[in-house]
Structure 1
């Protein structure tokens, strides 16, 4: 059996129509298939490869850690240099209030920890999230998701969850004294790159303060430089009570985190003892890769380049079939008339050597979120192929 047959026979499938792109190697913005078939990864593995695939400094950090140790003990018991150095580097990117990091394995796991912490710290039962929010697929993360199509097959879910409209001022009064936390994507990702105004986020912050609810910002897609700031909430001049990150955090390795104030995080230490535990969270190899990723973002000034690269993409990506482009930095949705229009474009672009896709809750738009390392030449090459795909399919 070849790899494709093994994939279909023995790996659990999530659709009846997987992409079935076979990849043998990756480097920078490129993926390579059999016979050296070349693809430009215009979606960064869905927001993961912010510093590109196999960045040399990330690979060096991984190799150096392999020479020391792999997993040693469940999270939080041994003092491990990769974890402590990463935690310090993370809090150095954040406002002073956010000074305590809990390392986990993924975005969903970080969300689970954050909502547990909010309930434990406040003693309150209810959570508020947004319509068309996506926070992950595990049980608690799915419960605070905002799309019923994804949720209905798994009910009953975690109780006490209500949804508000992202960016909707009128819904803020639904946040009350029974609310433990409001969990909101700073930029809505799977809804098709929806961006609320600064005034909304400041009003949301004020309302949470008024009723004593925690404000948790999900930066799993938007964080680590994707929007032109290290954290997307920097655009809105607010400070959350917790921030959740993953995806672009690991330079291609699996890792996530939720960050809060030390006094809030202390709720996990008693009643019960070990109130939140994870075996592999903060795995030393992933932590080393994450620290290297932060260093690459800062040393190579990749975040400072985001806006000019986004401007170039929008300048080049012009076609009568494109209705609009929504973006914050290199987090983009290219809107077409319908799914029936956009799906053949995406399929043809892949055939021509550019990988893109659509959004879970917005199937009339194409995702564009390249590695932040993408060059002007690579942008021009990728967009020319996308335009060719539009021409050939519409």
Structure 2
């Protein structure tokens, strides 16, 4: 613990459970748009959006208005799924409308006849019309795992090496890095891993596989973007084996990669879709989305097969609906650079001999350096830069790459400001 702490810092270190020995410990007084403001007057450009959460920026006026409007009506009323709550209903309808239907080939016309038992229609993505709200992305993962096991009657779940899907014991079982898991074993059995983006590994899916859960773009591995060929092959293999395809769009969803959902860029639709982080405009919320046919298995054997007390909290749902509308407006607006063009601008500006590579789509980017030892001082100096610092980060499974995921509303001028500071502190 540092010396000469303020009273507030002392309380932080003494009474808040710590997750590392070196928290950033920035003392933030307020936030607005892409900026955070410290108690000492320091201004920071938030180039990571609170880890892909504040997609529409901090305290967006439309989100605040929706929150205030709902506060004047009601807060928690009943456990999820029992009462008709307008914010939940409106948000579920809006989410379903964001998913564009894909016509599927019929068997005998190039389609695949599923071989699973019980009977399963391959490629259920066109039927993503049923939403189950949770409090977080991890809870969405947990619900989707249960859903896949219950619907298919199978136990095996496959995820990717260097994947991160959450820290609860079920979600942690999916993580593809042993150093994250070894201290908490035993975890869930019958979880196996494949390499993200490697078509040859898809042979590991069999008729024992309940589901493959995969990030459309691999996030914590350092923003690894697979080919369309890979996602097409993954969809085909899931159809052949009767396994559910679960896309984790907890980081990539809600406009982060330049389209509302990242999977839209691959001409493939999953059977289960996960979202959280950027969907709440700063409020806690998550969801898993499937067809009504798949989701209905939670109604019996046993009844209340998946339950949550606070999932779909009305204030969070109201904030999420406003966020969804702002994201859609941002995606369709031609008043300024598109999200894709903003990402390309960052690519063009961050030119330096110490930068080895920039990967990503839209405003989900990884800037690679030689090592963590080179990167970490750059991150620290960027934060400490006065009068305006820049907040960046690294990745759990790629600590030599700088995370850049600014709010989608960032302007061209603000991008240039942030990139100039990053380049300055590299030197």
Instruction: Give your verdict on TM over 0.5.
Output: yes
What is the DSSP-based 3-state SS (H/G/I as helix, E as strand, rest coil) of the residue aligned with 2:127? coil
Q: Which residue of 1 aligns with 2:215?
A: 185
Residues 130-166 of structure 1 deviation map (CA, whole Å, 9 limit, x = unaligned): 0001000011000011111101111110000000000
Q: How does 1:177-216 map to 2 (within 5 A)?
A: 177-216=207-246
CA–CA distance in structure 1, aligned partners of residues 269 and 85 of structure 2: 29
Q: Which residue of 2 aligns with 1:335?
A: 368
**Moved runs in structure 1, 4+ residues, more than 3 A?**
300-304
Q: Which residue of 1 aligns with 2:146?
A: 116
Shift of 1:110: 0.2
Q: Which residue of 1 aligns with 2:113?
A: none
Query: Structure 1 residues 219, 303: CA separation in 2 closer, same or farther (over 3 Å shift)?
Result: farther
CA–CA distance in structure 2, aligned partners of residues 301 and 126 of structure 1: 38
Shift of 1:2: 1.3
Q: How does 1:61-76 map to 2 (within 5 A)?
A: 61-76=66-81
* Contact persistence 2:137–2:166 (CA under 8 A): yes
Q: Which residue of 1 aligns with 2:319?
A: 289
Q: How many residues align?
A: 391
Shift of 1:302: 6.3
Residues 344-383 of structure 1 deviation map (CA, whole Å, 9 limit, x = unaligned): 0000000010000000000000000000000011101100
Residues 319-358 of structure 1 deviation map (CA, whole Å, 9 limit, x = unaligned): 0100000011100000000000000000000001000000
Residues 84-117 of structure 1 deviation map (CA, whole Å, 9 limit, x = unaligned): 0000000000134100000000000000000000
Q: Which residue of 2 aligns with 1:358?
A: 394
* Contact persistence 1:187–1:195 (CA under 8 A): yes
CA–CA distance in structure 1, aligned partners of residues 310 and 10 of structure 2: 31
Shift of 1:311: 1.1
1:316 aligns with 2:344: no
TM-score after normalising by structure 1: 0.98
Q: Which residue of 2 aligns with 1:4?
A: 9
Shift of 1:300: 3.7
Root-mean-square deviation (CA, aligned residues, Å) is 0.9
* Aligned mate of 2:27, from 22, 27, 30: 22
Unaligned runs of 5+ in 1: none
CA–CA distance in structure 2, aligned partners of residues 389 and 129 of structure 1: 38
Q: Which residue of 2 aligns with 1:107?
A: 137
Q: Which residue of 2 aligns with 1:348?
A: 381
CA–CA distance in structure 2, aligned partners of residues 241 and 205 of structure 1: 10
* Contact persistence 1:297–1:303 (CA under 8 A): no
What is the DSSP-based 3-state SS (H/G/I as helix, E as strand, rest coil) of the residue aligned with 2:351? coil
Shift of 1:54: 0.3
* Contact persistence 2:274–2:287 (CA under 8 A): yes
* Contact persistence 2:260–2:328 (CA under 8 A): no
Residues 258-298 of structure 1 deviation map (CA, whole Å, 9 limit, x = unaligned): 00000000000000000000000000000000000011112
Q: Which residue of 1 aligns with 2:119?
A: none
Q: Which residue of 2 aligns with 1:82?
A: 87
User: Which is greater in Rg?
Assistant: 2
What is the DSSP-based 3-state SS (H/G/I as helix, E as strand, rest coil) of the residue aligned with 1:36? coil
Q: Which residue of 1 aligns with 2:54?
A: 49
* Contact persistence 2:220–2:395 (CA under 8 A): yes
Q: Which residue of 2 aligns with 1:373?
A: 409
